[in-house]
Amino acid sequence: MQHLTQLLQTFSPITLSEMDEKKLMDRTDTKYIFSLSKLPFLIEQLNTEYRVLDVKGVRLSRYESLYFDTEDFELFYNHQRGKSNRHKIRFRRYVESDLIFFEIKYKNNKGRTIKNRVQQDLVETEIQNSAAIFLHKHTPIQSSTLLPQFWANYSRITLVNNNLPERVTLDLNLHFLKDNNMSNFNDLVIAEVKQENTTPSTFLKLMKKYHLRTSSVSKYCLGVIQYNNNIKHNNFKSNLRNINKILYGTSTNNK
Protein backbone atom coordinates (compact mmCIF):
# COMPACT_ATOMS: atom_id res chain seq x y z
CA MET A 1 0.00 0.00 0.00
CA GLN A 2 2.93 2.33 0.68
CA HIS A 3 4.20 1.74 -2.87
CA LEU A 4 0.74 2.56 -4.24
CA THR A 5 0.63 5.77 -2.22
CA GLN A 6 4.02 6.76 -3.62
CA LEU A 7 2.87 6.08 -7.19
CA LEU A 8 -0.17 8.31 -6.70
CA GLN A 9 2.16 11.17 -5.80
CA THR A 10 3.52 11.07 -9.38
CA PHE A 11 0.11 12.22 -10.72
CA SER A 12 -0.87 15.84 -11.11
CA PRO A 13 -3.71 16.61 -8.67
CA ILE A 14 -7.26 17.71 -9.32
CA THR A 15 -9.29 19.31 -6.55
CA LEU A 16 -12.83 18.45 -5.55
CA SER A 17 -14.13 21.77 -6.85
CA GLU A 18 -12.37 21.26 -10.20
CA MET A 19 -13.79 17.75 -10.48
CA ASP A 20 -17.30 19.04 -9.76
CA GLU A 21 -17.13 20.69 -13.18
CA LYS A 22 -16.97 17.16 -14.63
CA LYS A 23 -19.62 15.47 -12.49
CA LEU A 24 -20.79 12.99 -15.16
CA MET A 25 -24.14 12.54 -13.41
CA ASP A 26 -25.59 11.15 -16.68
CA ARG A 27 -23.16 8.61 -18.06
CA THR A 28 -22.25 5.12 -19.16
CA ASP A 29 -20.53 2.87 -16.62
CA THR A 30 -18.14 0.02 -17.39
CA LYS A 31 -16.83 -2.14 -14.52
CA TYR A 32 -13.85 -4.43 -14.08
CA ILE A 33 -12.59 -6.55 -11.19
CA PHE A 34 -9.02 -7.69 -10.65
CA SER A 35 -6.48 -8.46 -7.95
CA LEU A 36 -4.98 -5.66 -5.86
CA SER A 37 -1.55 -7.00 -6.80
CA LYS A 38 -2.11 -5.78 -10.40
CA LEU A 39 -2.98 -2.22 -9.41
CA PRO A 40 0.50 -0.64 -9.01
CA PHE A 41 1.56 -1.96 -12.42
CA LEU A 42 -1.53 -0.43 -14.04
CA ILE A 43 -1.24 2.86 -12.13
CA GLU A 44 2.31 3.34 -13.40
CA GLN A 45 0.98 3.51 -16.98
CA LEU A 46 -1.67 6.17 -16.36
CA ASN A 47 0.01 9.20 -14.82
CA THR A 48 0.57 11.08 -18.09
CA GLU A 49 -3.09 10.84 -19.17
CA TYR A 50 -4.93 11.34 -15.87
CA ARG A 51 -4.99 13.56 -12.82
CA VAL A 52 -5.80 12.15 -9.40
CA LEU A 53 -8.36 13.57 -6.98
CA ASP A 54 -6.57 15.14 -4.00
CA VAL A 55 -8.67 15.96 -0.92
CA LYS A 56 -6.70 17.75 1.79
CA GLY A 57 -3.53 16.00 0.66
CA VAL A 58 -5.17 12.56 0.59
CA ARG A 59 -5.30 10.67 -2.71
CA LEU A 60 -6.78 7.43 -1.41
CA SER A 61 -10.13 8.62 -0.06
CA ARG A 62 -12.45 6.73 2.28
CA TYR A 63 -16.12 6.22 1.47
CA GLU A 64 -18.81 4.91 3.83
CA SER A 65 -22.21 3.98 2.33
CA LEU A 66 -25.37 2.81 4.08
CA TYR A 67 -27.59 0.99 1.56
CA PHE A 68 -31.37 0.62 1.68
CA ASP A 69 -33.79 -1.89 0.19
CA THR A 70 -37.27 -3.19 0.84
CA GLU A 71 -37.89 -6.06 3.25
CA ASP A 72 -38.15 -8.48 0.31
CA PHE A 73 -35.11 -6.99 -1.50
CA GLU A 74 -37.02 -5.60 -4.46
CA LEU A 75 -34.09 -3.38 -5.57
CA PHE A 76 -31.68 -6.32 -5.41
CA TYR A 77 -33.94 -8.56 -7.47
CA ASN A 78 -34.50 -5.80 -10.03
CA HIS A 79 -30.74 -5.71 -10.52
CA GLN A 80 -30.38 -9.50 -10.69
CA ARG A 81 -33.08 -9.71 -13.36
CA GLY A 82 -31.33 -6.99 -15.35
CA LYS A 83 -34.45 -4.86 -15.16
CA SER A 84 -34.27 -1.48 -16.86
CA ASN A 85 -35.22 1.62 -14.88
CA ARG A 86 -33.85 0.31 -11.57
CA HIS A 87 -32.53 2.13 -8.51
CA LYS A 88 -29.95 2.00 -5.75
CA ILE A 89 -30.61 4.04 -2.62
CA ARG A 90 -27.98 5.03 -0.06
CA PHE A 91 -26.54 7.57 2.33
CA ARG A 92 -22.87 8.17 1.59
CA ARG A 93 -20.22 9.82 3.72
CA TYR A 94 -17.11 11.15 1.99
CA VAL A 95 -14.75 10.90 4.95
CA GLU A 96 -11.86 13.20 4.01
CA SER A 97 -14.12 16.03 2.82
CA ASP A 98 -16.59 15.35 5.66
CA LEU A 99 -19.54 15.57 3.26
CA ILE A 100 -22.70 13.47 3.51
CA PHE A 101 -25.22 12.96 0.70
CA PHE A 102 -28.42 11.03 0.23
CA GLU A 103 -27.91 9.48 -3.21
CA ILE A 104 -30.10 7.80 -5.81
CA LYS A 105 -28.57 5.90 -8.73
CA TYR A 106 -30.91 5.16 -11.60
CA LYS A 107 -30.13 2.82 -14.51
CA ASN A 108 -32.45 3.61 -17.42
CA ASN A 109 -33.57 1.49 -20.35
CA LYS A 110 -30.80 2.94 -22.53
CA GLY A 111 -28.09 1.58 -20.24
CA ARG A 112 -27.20 4.99 -18.84
CA THR A 113 -26.62 5.69 -15.16
CA ILE A 114 -28.15 8.86 -13.76
CA LYS A 115 -27.11 9.92 -10.28
CA ASN A 116 -28.98 12.43 -8.13
CA ARG A 117 -28.04 13.48 -4.63
CA VAL A 118 -28.85 15.98 -1.91
CA GLN A 119 -26.51 17.02 0.88
CA GLN A 120 -27.36 15.94 4.42
CA ASP A 121 -26.10 16.72 7.91
CA LEU A 122 -26.14 13.10 9.12
CA VAL A 123 -26.32 9.54 7.90
CA GLU A 124 -29.68 8.30 9.16
CA THR A 125 -31.18 4.83 9.43
CA GLU A 126 -34.53 6.17 8.24
CA ILE A 127 -35.26 8.07 5.05
CA GLN A 128 -37.14 11.11 6.26
CA ASN A 129 -37.46 14.88 5.97
CA SER A 130 -35.48 16.32 3.01
CA ALA A 131 -34.20 12.86 2.00
CA ALA A 132 -37.77 11.50 1.81
CA ILE A 133 -38.88 14.51 -0.26
CA PHE A 134 -35.93 13.97 -2.59
CA LEU A 135 -36.71 10.24 -2.91
CA HIS A 136 -40.34 10.93 -3.82
CA LYS A 137 -39.26 13.53 -6.36
CA HIS A 138 -36.94 11.16 -8.22
CA THR A 139 -38.48 7.69 -7.78
CA PRO A 140 -41.88 6.00 -7.35
CA ILE A 141 -40.54 4.29 -4.19
CA GLN A 142 -42.16 5.01 -0.84
CA SER A 143 -39.61 5.87 1.85
CA SER A 144 -41.59 3.90 4.45
CA THR A 145 -40.86 0.65 2.55
CA LEU A 146 -37.06 1.04 2.69
CA LEU A 147 -34.91 -0.43 5.45
CA PRO A 148 -31.17 -0.01 6.11
CA GLN A 149 -29.39 -3.19 5.01
CA PHE A 150 -25.64 -2.81 5.63
CA TRP A 151 -22.61 -0.55 5.29
CA ALA A 152 -20.25 -0.85 2.33
CA ASN A 153 -16.97 0.89 3.14
CA TYR A 154 -13.84 1.16 0.98
CA SER A 155 -11.02 3.40 -0.17
CA ARG A 156 -11.17 5.02 -3.59
CA ILE A 157 -8.70 6.40 -6.08
CA THR A 158 -10.38 8.77 -8.54
CA LEU A 159 -8.62 9.50 -11.83
CA VAL A 160 -9.83 12.21 -14.21
CA ASN A 161 -8.87 12.04 -17.87
CA ASN A 162 -6.98 15.10 -19.13
CA ASN A 163 -8.51 14.99 -22.60
CA LEU A 164 -11.85 13.13 -22.43
CA PRO A 165 -15.02 13.48 -20.30
CA GLU A 166 -14.05 10.40 -18.29
CA ARG A 167 -13.46 9.43 -14.67
CA VAL A 168 -12.00 6.15 -13.48
CA THR A 169 -12.65 5.05 -9.92
CA LEU A 170 -10.59 2.29 -8.30
CA ASP A 171 -12.15 0.89 -5.14
CA LEU A 172 -10.06 -1.21 -2.75
CA ASN A 173 -10.07 -2.28 0.91
CA LEU A 174 -13.75 -3.13 0.45
CA HIS A 175 -15.56 -4.41 3.52
CA PHE A 176 -19.18 -4.78 4.50
CA LEU A 177 -20.58 -4.27 7.98
CA LYS A 178 -23.94 -5.39 9.39
CA ASP A 179 -24.73 -5.77 13.08
CA ASN A 180 -21.01 -5.91 13.96
CA ASN A 181 -20.51 -8.70 11.42
CA MET A 182 -17.75 -7.70 8.99
CA SER A 183 -17.01 -9.28 5.61
CA ASN A 184 -13.74 -8.32 3.90
CA PHE A 185 -12.68 -8.21 0.24
CA ASN A 186 -9.39 -6.42 0.85
CA ASP A 187 -7.47 -7.98 -2.05
CA LEU A 188 -10.08 -7.07 -4.67
CA VAL A 189 -10.13 -3.96 -6.88
CA ILE A 190 -13.42 -2.84 -8.41
CA ALA A 191 -12.70 -0.42 -11.24
CA GLU A 192 -15.41 1.66 -12.88
CA VAL A 193 -15.03 3.76 -16.01
CA LYS A 194 -17.55 6.62 -16.17
CA GLN A 195 -17.94 8.40 -19.49
CA GLU A 196 -20.44 10.66 -21.22
CA ASN A 197 -20.17 8.29 -24.18
CA THR A 198 -18.29 5.04 -24.54
CA THR A 199 -14.98 6.20 -26.01
CA PRO A 200 -11.67 4.30 -26.22
CA SER A 201 -9.36 5.68 -23.55
CA THR A 202 -5.98 4.83 -22.10
CA PHE A 203 -7.54 2.96 -19.20
CA LEU A 204 -9.90 0.95 -21.42
CA LYS A 205 -7.02 0.09 -23.74
CA LEU A 206 -5.01 -1.18 -20.76
CA MET A 207 -7.91 -3.40 -19.69
CA LYS A 208 -8.01 -4.89 -23.18
CA LYS A 209 -4.23 -5.22 -23.44
CA TYR A 210 -3.99 -7.24 -20.23
CA HIS A 211 -7.15 -9.27 -20.92
CA LEU A 212 -9.10 -7.87 -17.98
CA ARG A 213 -12.74 -8.42 -18.84
CA THR A 214 -15.74 -6.29 -18.00
CA SER A 215 -17.90 -7.38 -15.09
CA SER A 216 -21.37 -6.43 -13.92
CA VAL A 217 -20.40 -6.80 -10.27
CA SER A 218 -22.26 -4.48 -7.90
CA LYS A 219 -20.94 -3.73 -4.43
CA TYR A 220 -24.51 -3.54 -3.19
CA CYS A 221 -25.52 -6.91 -4.65
CA LEU A 222 -22.31 -8.49 -3.38
CA GLY A 223 -23.12 -7.26 0.12
CA VAL A 224 -26.71 -8.56 -0.03
CA ILE A 225 -25.43 -12.02 -0.95
CA GLN A 226 -22.90 -11.97 1.91
CA TYR A 227 -25.57 -11.39 4.55
CA ASN A 228 -28.47 -13.40 3.11
CA ASN A 229 -27.45 -17.01 2.58
CA ASN A 230 -30.78 -18.12 1.13
CA ILE A 231 -31.31 -15.28 -1.32
CA LYS A 232 -31.52 -16.31 -4.97
CA HIS A 233 -28.60 -14.99 -7.00
CA ASN A 234 -28.18 -17.28 -10.00
CA ASN A 235 -27.37 -14.43 -12.37
CA PHE A 236 -24.43 -13.38 -10.19
CA LYS A 237 -22.79 -16.80 -9.86
CA SER A 238 -20.30 -16.29 -12.69
CA ASN A 239 -19.16 -13.01 -11.12
CA LEU A 240 -18.84 -14.67 -7.71
CA ARG A 241 -16.75 -17.48 -9.20
CA ASN A 242 -14.50 -14.86 -10.78
CA ILE A 243 -14.14 -13.01 -7.47
CA ASN A 244 -13.29 -16.24 -5.64
CA LYS A 245 -10.70 -17.06 -8.30
CA ILE A 246 -9.10 -13.62 -7.86
CA LEU A 247 -9.11 -13.80 -4.07
CA TYR A 248 -8.46 -17.46 -3.39
CA GLY A 249 -7.22 -18.97 -6.64
CA THR A 250 -10.36 -21.09 -6.90
CA SER A 251 -13.66 -20.69 -8.72
CA THR A 252 -15.58 -22.58 -6.05
CA ASN A 253 -18.61 -20.74 -4.73
CA ASN A 254 -20.11 -22.07 -1.52
CA LYS A 255 -23.24 -19.99 -1.59
Q: Please, are residues 36 and 188 in contact by the beta-carbon 8 Å criterion? A: yes
At 28 the pLDDT is 82
Host H or E run for residue 33: strand 26-35
pLDDT in tens, the chain (255 residues): 789 999 999 999 999 889 876 666 677 889 999 999 999 999 999 999 999 999 999 999 999 999 999 999 999 999 988 888 899 999 999 999 999 999 999 999 888 889 999 999 999 999 999 999 999 999 999 999 999 999 999 999 999 999 988 999 999 999 999 999 999 999 999 999 999 877 889 999 999 999 998 887 789 999 999 999 899 998 888 888 999 998 888 655 444
At 45 the pLDDT is 95
| E strand segments, 135-248 | 147-161, 166-178, 181-185, 188-195
Burial (CB count within 10 angstroms: exposed 0-12, middle 13-18, buried 19+), residue 68: buried
Q: Please, are residues 165 and 22 in contact by the beta-carbon 8 Å criterion? A: yes
Coil, strand or helix at 40: helix
At 254 the pLDDT is 44
Which candidate, 252, 248, 249, 217, places its Cα nearest to that of 235?
217
At 84 the pLDDT is 83
Planar angle of CA 101, 4, 30, nearest 5 degrees: 55
Q: Please, are residues 182 and 173 in contact by the beta-carbon 8 Å criterion? A: no
Strand pairing partners for 157?
170
